[in-house]
């Protein structure tokens, strides 16, 4: 189990994995508080499942790219540590399930042999940086956003600014004004633009801030119509610093960026961002896209033999799954993956196929599919043949029948109803009764198992959200039907209206009513125009009868994909552990952060050192406040409360206020001189606070 310590070439990665292994042991020995251990493992991609004693592992794949070698590596790991099933998420990650906690360090080490990481795939961190799967091949793109998404991922991975924020933070890059990356529903979204400045074409981005889904969706604000490309990293870092400092930490349901922007007001938030710029390590951060662009080559694939002439199924597949590229003579092939689930035998054959006949990579998509890029046009029939052999040649890529759904009650702790079960039933209805919709890419169905919207149900034309409802004295599985959401392009979108609630087993009939009505009455209008014309009440009346709880039958008591009567089971506990002195735990963590700051100082990483020491001071102050039962809800609040309760009352003498000491972080440039002075001050204050705590305990 310890062999990774000598096999891994990257000492930073090796240290990460050893730390996870050590913390697992401490947790099992009852020496780490369960809540703190949860935070640590989530930031390492280890997520508790609905089923006791096993973990879901989220594999972070920036902008959805996976090479043939990486896909083989993921397959090997899934075969050895999991069940052999690979699940594509709506953030272009891969998840594997039913993994033993004890084996996660060696699993991670195996993945890293092909440069695949778990780091910050879950938890209150910068999550996977997503991008349009067509980036680099999109006929409508002004330039390829891939190197910018890649630079963003690399810059913020392990960055001390974003390791323990109040909540997760999501970013997306779209390839063009079609906004297929869905910028408007992210904490930060970027749409590429080109502007002529002094006679030169300059790359930049339209920037959107503060979007999100969940139970209270918010459309992001456009904060820049054009921000030059070398400014995006400093802008992101300043935004993250403000979110880290002022973001809510006590009330989890109010802790996302969208709530902070709403509470502070956009103008005040941006003013704080502007004030933070002096503290940043870079005022500009050029991204070498030219080298990346020039390195891109098209494959020289060999000729391939067909077993037989293509049939009618090929013609439909070609119509819906073969997409034009901006590179002449090449196409991309969209592979529809129902519910995002495929298996390692398929994955291994795919890896070989794209290595030989394409560009040795796949891009996973936001709709839980994948795209094979750079396929010579004459090889499309061969790809259909080979994909058909492994069960991945279904037509209707990105069509109405291509339904997005989160795992729901299959494995998620928060799932209320079966999203995968109802998705499978709706796909059956479309394939059997509405085959014409296999060609329709203007209608989208998305399903989530709860209000958190991992299936993005509230931005779909037709959305379903898992919930429960009362039928007499019995609680039954139900679906909230939402209508009228959609992506309008160029950073504009709309969220769906909640129309009515129905028993889950009536979901297929609801879809039939909606599609029949649309076909008979829309008179050529698109769905959103038709919805706006008729209005929410019209559709409520259309579906009202299905929501009548007095007419439920025994079949309604059982959720899709289940055989037993439904029971609400939300938030099942993850791992057992002894609850320790949380004050002592926080002080220990504070010292660990100061130690990281010392390490960064020795390596000449001045900005990182300053931020680690800053985080250490905040944790130490939080520990002392907790010892006095003083509650806090943000880092800024911790600083203010500490002064109010300890400095102003003369309990602790810092030679000034805590705020004055701590907030030097955004008053001075991150020079070597300041980094060393800030580190010395942080250690001095930590020692004072630790001594105060020890005296209080002894008293």
Q: Do residues 468 and 538 both lie within one domain?
A: yes
- Which range marks the domain in which residue 37 is found? 4-112
**CA dihedral for 621, 623, 629, 632, sign (positive or negative):** positive
Q: Do residues 410 and 380 both lie within one domain?
A: no
CATH number of the structural domain spanning residue 380: 3.30.70.3340
CA nearest neighbour of 122 among 64, 77, 163: 163
Q: Do residues 458 and 329 both lie within one domain?
A: no
Q: Do residues 242 and 316 both lie within one domain?
A: no
pLDDT of 45: 83
pLDDT of 395: 93
Q: Do residues 533 and 593 both lie within one domain?
A: no
| 301 in any annotated domain | no
CA atoms within 13 A on the CB side of 279: 25
* Contact between residue 406 and residue 368 where contact means Cβ atoms under 8 Å apart: no
* Contact between residue 148 and residue 173 where contact means Cβ atoms under 8 Å apart: yes
| 429 in any annotated domain | yes
**Residue that is last in its domain, among 366, 389, 412:** 389
Distance from C-alpha of 30 to C-alpha of 662, rounded to nearest angstrom: 33
Distance from C-alpha of 443 to C-alpha of 402, rounded to nearest angstrom: 10
Strands of the sheet with 85-88, listed across from one edge? 46-48, 55-59, 94-99, 85-88, 341-343
| 395 in any annotated domain | no
CA atoms within 13 A on the CB side of 50: 16
CA nearest neighbour of 33 among 630, 584, 628: 584
Query: Rounded to 5 degrees, what are φ and ψ at 460?
Result: -95, 160
| 298 in any annotated domain | no
CATH number of the structural domain spanning residue 616: 1.20.120.330
Distance from C-alpha of 283 to C-alpha of 304, rounded to nearest angstrom: 52
Q: Do residues 72 and 202 both lie within one domain?
A: no
Q: Do residues 382 and 475 both lie within one domain?
A: no
| 413 in any annotated domain | yes
**Residue that is last in its domain, among 362, 389, 416:** 389
Output the six-digit token pair for 289. Answer: 């896209």
CATH number of the structural domain spanning residue 177: 3.30.413.10
Q: Do residues 538 and 419 both lie within one domain?
A: yes
Q: Give the position of tokens 């492994």.
A: 390
CA nearest neighbour of 380 among 370, 369, 391, 388: 388
Distance from C-alpha of 65 to C-alpha of 429, rounded to nearest angstrom: 32
Q: DSSP letter string over 358-424?
A: S-SEEEE-TTS-EEEEEEEGGGHHHHHHHHHHTT---S-TTSTTS-EE--GGGT-TT--S-HHHHHH
Q: Give the position of tokens 């943000």.
A: 634
* Contact between residue 417 and residue 477 where contact means Cβ atoms under 8 Å apart: yes
What pairing do the DSSP bridges indicate for beta strands 486-489 and 492-494? Answer: antiparallel
CA nearest neighbour of 586 among 545, 622, 550: 622
Q: Do residues 32 and 176 both lie within one domain?
A: no
pTM higher than 0.85, yes or no?
yes
3-class secondary-structure state, position 173: strand
Q: Do residues 549 and 472 both lie within one domain?
A: yes
Distance from C-alpha of 654 to C-alpha of 644, rounded to nearest angstrom: 13
CA nearest neighbour of 479 among 539, 419, 410: 419
**Residue that is last in its domain, among 389, 415, 449:** 389
3-class secondary-structure state, position 504: helix
| 574 in any annotated domain | no
* Contact between residue 666 and residue 276 where contact means Cβ atoms under 8 Å apart: yes
pLDDT of 579: 28
Distance from C-alpha of 446 to C-alpha of 95, rounded to nearest angstrom: 19
Distance from C-alpha of 234 to C-alpha of 416, rounded to nearest angstrom: 40
Q: What DSSP designation does 531 have?
A: H
* Contact between residue 321 and residue 334 where contact means Cβ atoms under 8 Å apart: yes
Q: Do residues 520 and 450 both lie within one domain?
A: yes
| 299 in any annotated domain | no
Q: Do residues 156 and 267 both lie within one domain?
A: yes
Query: Rounded to 5 degrees, what are φ and ψ at 562?
Result: -120, 160
3-class secondary-structure state, position 131: strand
Distance from C-alpha of 313 to C-alpha of 332, rounded to nearest angstrom: 18
* Contact between residue 371 and residue 363 where contact means Cβ atoms under 8 Å apart: yes
Average pLDDT per 10 consecutive residues for the chain, totaling 699 residues: 58 88 86 77 82 88 98 97 95 95 92 94 94 98 98 96 93 98 97 95 98 92 98 98 94 90 97 96 96 94 93 93 97 96 97 98 96 97 97 94 81 74 92 91 91 88 91 88 96 96 94 97 95 96 94 88 68 30 78 93 96 95 91 93 95 95 92 96 94 77
CATH number of the structural domain spanning residue 43: 3.90.480.20
pLDDT of 10: 84
| 396 in any annotated domain | no
Q: Give the position of tokens 């499978």.
A: 424
Q: Work out how many domains the chain is built from and give that number.
A: 5
């Amino acid at each position: 189990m310890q062999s990774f310590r000598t096999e891994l070439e990257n000492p930073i990665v090796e240290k990460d994995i050893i730390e996870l292994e050590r913390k697992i042991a401490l947790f099992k020995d009852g020496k780490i508080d369960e809540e703190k251990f949860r935070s640590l493992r989530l930031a390492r991609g280890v997520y508790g499942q609905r089923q006791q004693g096993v973990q879901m592992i989220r594999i972070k794949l920036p902008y959805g790219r996976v090479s043939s070698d990486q896909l083989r590596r993921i397959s090997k790991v899934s075969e050895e540590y999991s069940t052999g099933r690979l699940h594509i998420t709506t953030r272009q990650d891969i998840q594997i399930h039913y993994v033993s906690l004890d084996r996660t360090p060696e699993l991670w080490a195996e993945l890293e042999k092909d440069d695949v990481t778990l780091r910050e795939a879950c938890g209150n961190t910068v999550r996977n940086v997503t991008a349009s799967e067509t980036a680099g091949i999109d006929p409508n793109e002004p330039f390829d956003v891939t190197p910018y998404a890649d630079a963003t991922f690399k810059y913020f991975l392990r960055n001390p600014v974003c390791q323990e924020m109040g909540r997760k933070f999501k970013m997306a890059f779209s390839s063009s004004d079609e906004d297929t990356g869905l910028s408007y529903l992210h904490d930060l979204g970027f749409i590429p633009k080109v502007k002529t400045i002094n006679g030169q074409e300059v790359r930049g981005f339209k920037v959107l801030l503060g979007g999100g889904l969940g139970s209270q969706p918010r459309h992001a604000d456009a904060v820049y119509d054009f921000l030059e490309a070398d400014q995006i990293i400093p802008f992101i870092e300043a935004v993250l610093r403000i979110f880290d400092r002022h973001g809510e930490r006590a009330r989890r349901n109010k802790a996302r960026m969208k709530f902070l922007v709403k509470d502070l007001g956009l103008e005040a938030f941006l003013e704080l961002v502007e004030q933070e710029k002096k503290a940043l390590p870079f005022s500009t951060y050029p991204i070498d896209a030219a080298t990346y662009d020039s390195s891109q080559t098209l494959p020289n694939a060999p000729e391939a033999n067909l077993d037989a002439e293509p049939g009618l199924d090929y013609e439909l597949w070609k119509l819906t799954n073969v997409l034009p590229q901006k590179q002449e003579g090449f196409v991309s092939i969209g592979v529809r993956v129902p519910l995002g689930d495929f298996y390692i035998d398929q994955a291994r054959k795919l890896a070989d196929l794209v290595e030989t006949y394409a560009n040795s990579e796949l891009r996973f998509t936001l709709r839980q599919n994948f795209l094979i890029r750079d396929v010579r046009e004459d090889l499309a029939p061969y790809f259909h043949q080979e994909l058909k052999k492994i069960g991945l040649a279904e037509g209707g890529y990105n069509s109405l029948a291509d339904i997005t759904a989160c795992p729901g009650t299959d494995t998620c702790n928060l799932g209320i109803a079966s999203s995968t079960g109802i998705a499978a039933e709706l796909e059956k209805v479309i394939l059997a009764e509405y085959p014409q919709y296999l060609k329709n890419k203007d209608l989208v169905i998305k399903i989530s198992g709860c209000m958190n919207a991992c299936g993005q149900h509230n931005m779909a034309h037709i959305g379903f959200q898992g919930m429960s409802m009362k039928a007499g004295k019995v609680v039954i599985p139900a679906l909230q039907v939402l209508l009228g959401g959609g992506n309008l392009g160029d950073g504009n979108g709309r969220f769906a209206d909640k129309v009515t609630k129905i028993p889950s087993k009536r979901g297929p009939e609801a879809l039939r009513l909606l599609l029949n009505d649309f076909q008979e009455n829309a008179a050529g209008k698109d769905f959103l125009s038709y919805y706006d014309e008729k209005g929410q009440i019209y559709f409520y009346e259309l579906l009202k009868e299905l929501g009548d709880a007095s007419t439920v039958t025994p079949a309604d008591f059982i959720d899709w994909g289940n055989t037993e009567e439904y029971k609400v089971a939300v938030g099942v506990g993850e791992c057992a552990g002894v609850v320790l002195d949380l004050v002592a735990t926080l002080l220990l963590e504070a010292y660990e952060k100061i130690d990281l700051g010392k390490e960064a100082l020795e390596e000449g990483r001045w900005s990182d050192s300053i931020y680690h020491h800053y985080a250490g001071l905040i944790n130490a102050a939080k520990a002392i406040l907790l010892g006095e039962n003083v509650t806090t809800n943000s880092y800024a609040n911790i600083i203010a409360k500490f002064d109010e309760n300890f400095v102003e009352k003369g309990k602790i003498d810092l030679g000034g206020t805590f705020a004055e000491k701590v907030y030097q972080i955004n008053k001075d440039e991150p020079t070597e001189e300041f980094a060393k002075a800030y580190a010395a001050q942080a250690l001095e204050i930590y020692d004072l606070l630790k001594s105060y705590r020890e005296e209080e305990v002894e008293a």
